[in-house]
């Protein structure tokens, strides 16, 4: 089955992509505008090759996840092929701070406002997500004016502590979780999302409202170890499936 680009790019892993009227997707990544219509478009772009993790056999992973149980079989069949994107540490950190008590549409809007306010215009009306240095003079008042609400002090603390993001790669998963939680406002769910999507730590299994429903309804008594070695990818299938099934 062909990759589900709508779910990969617009389903909550990242908040930088837009779907255009012609069916293509566009985003500013790595300092330039990237446009794709199909995943095949990414193979000739070294940045996107890494970003989409194209060197990994997601078809094999999908088959093995699908064989685990009937719920995962239904989820995989409903969703199609997913991938875990490889994103920048800081971008993922701020993105998932924004995700707290929020929905994908609003998070995407906040992401764009931060890009317009603090990032660079790299093409007409297309802005890069700001770096920690570009946000170093941001104030709580400015951030609240952009609509981030109670998350403003958390964003400021992440900017102030951005150096710790470079320490996370060398840590074991549980240590990495604790290191990220040194930033104000980051708890287990947000730390797990940052590790999956900003560090490609596929042991992550974030528990938001949707996943708590899945686990209580279909996997009572089980934890993320049941889904090993595909914890993060299984979580993405279940998250996408239950969200689309119940929304």
List per-residue pLDDT tens for the chain, 247 residues long: 478 999 999 999 999 999 999 999 999 999 999 999 999 999 999 999 999 999 999 999 999 999 999 999 999 999 999 999 999 999 999 999 999 999 999 999 999 999 999 999 999 999 999 999 999 999 999 999 999 999 999 999 999 999 999 999 999 999 999 999 999 999 999 999 999 999 999 999 999 988 999 999 999 999 999 999 999 999 999 999 998 876 5
Cβ neighbour number for residue 48 with a 10 Å cutoff: 18
Q: Which CATH class is domain 89-199?
A: mainly alpha
The CA distance from 39 to 3, in Å, is: 7
Comparing CA positions, the residue from 210, 171, 215, 216 lying closest to residue 194 is 171
Q: What is the pTM of this model?
A: 0.95
Fold of 5-85+205-246: TATA-Binding Protein (3.30.310)
* Tokens 């993405």, residue located: 236
Q: What is the 3-state secondary structure (H, E, C) of 127-190?
A: ECCCCCCCCCCCCHHHHHHCCCHHHHHHHHHHHHCHHHHHCHHHCCHHHHHHHHCCCCCCCHHH
User: How confident is the model at residue 245, as a pLDDT?
Assistant: 78
Domain with CATH 3.30.310.260 in the chain: 5-85+205-246
User: How confident is the model at residue 1, as a pLDDT?
Assistant: 47
User: How confident is the model at residue 106, as a pLDDT?
Assistant: 97
Residue 92: CB partners within 8 Å, gap ≥ 6?
193, 194, 197, 198, 199
User: How confident is the model at residue 247, as a pLDDT?
Assistant: 56
User: What's CA 31's distance to the chain center, in Å?
Assistant: 19
User: How confident is the model at residue 246, as a pLDDT?
Assistant: 64
Spell 109-126 as b/e; 16+ CB within 10 A means b: ebbbbbbebbbeeeeeeb
User: How confident is the model at residue 3, as a pLDDT?
Assistant: 87
User: How buried is 173 (Cβ within 10 angstroms: 0-12 exposed, 13-18 middle, 19+ buried)?
Assistant: middle
The CA distance from 89 to 91, in Å, is: 6
User: What's CA 82's distance to the chain center, in Å?
Assistant: 13
Domain with CATH 1.10.340.30 in the chain: 89-199
User: How confident is the model at residue 162, as a pLDDT?
Assistant: 97
Secondary structure E strands in the chain: 18-19, 25-29, 32-36, 121-123, 126-127
Kindly report the CA angle at 133 between 121 and 129, in degrees rounded to 5? 35
Bridging pattern class, strands 32-36 and 18-19: unpaired
């Amino acid at each position: 089955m062909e990759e589900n680009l709508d779910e990969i790019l617009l389903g909550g892993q990242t908040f930088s992509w837009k779907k255009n009227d012609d069916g293509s997707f566009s985003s500013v990544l790595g300092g330039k505008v990237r446009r794709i219509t199909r995943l095949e478009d990414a193979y000739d772009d070294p940045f996107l090759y890494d970003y989409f993790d194209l060197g990994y056999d997601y078809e094999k992973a999908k088959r093995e996840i699908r064989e685990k149980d009937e719920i995962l079989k239904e989820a995989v069949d409903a969703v199609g092929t997913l991938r875990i994107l490889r994103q920048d540490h800081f971008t993922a950190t701020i993105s998932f701070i924004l995700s707290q008590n929020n929905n994908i549409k609003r998070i995407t809007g906040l992401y764009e406002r931060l890009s317009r306010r603090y990032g660079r215009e790299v093409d007409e009306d297309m802005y890069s997500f700001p770096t920690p240095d570009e946000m170093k003079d941001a104030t709580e008042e400015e951030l609240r004016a952009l609509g981030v609400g109670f998350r403003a002090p958390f964003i400021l603390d992440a900017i102030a502590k951005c150096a710790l993001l470079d320490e996370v790669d060398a840590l074991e998963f549980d240590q990495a979780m604790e290191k990220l939680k040194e930033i104000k406002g980051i708890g287990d769910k947000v730390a797990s999302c940052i590790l999956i999507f900003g560090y490609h730590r596929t042991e992550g299994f974030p528990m938001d409202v949707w996943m708590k429903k899945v686990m209580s309804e279909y996997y009572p008594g089980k934890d993320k170890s049941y889904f090993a070695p595909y914890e993060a990818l299984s979580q993405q299938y279940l998250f996408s499936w239950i969200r689309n099934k119940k929304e």
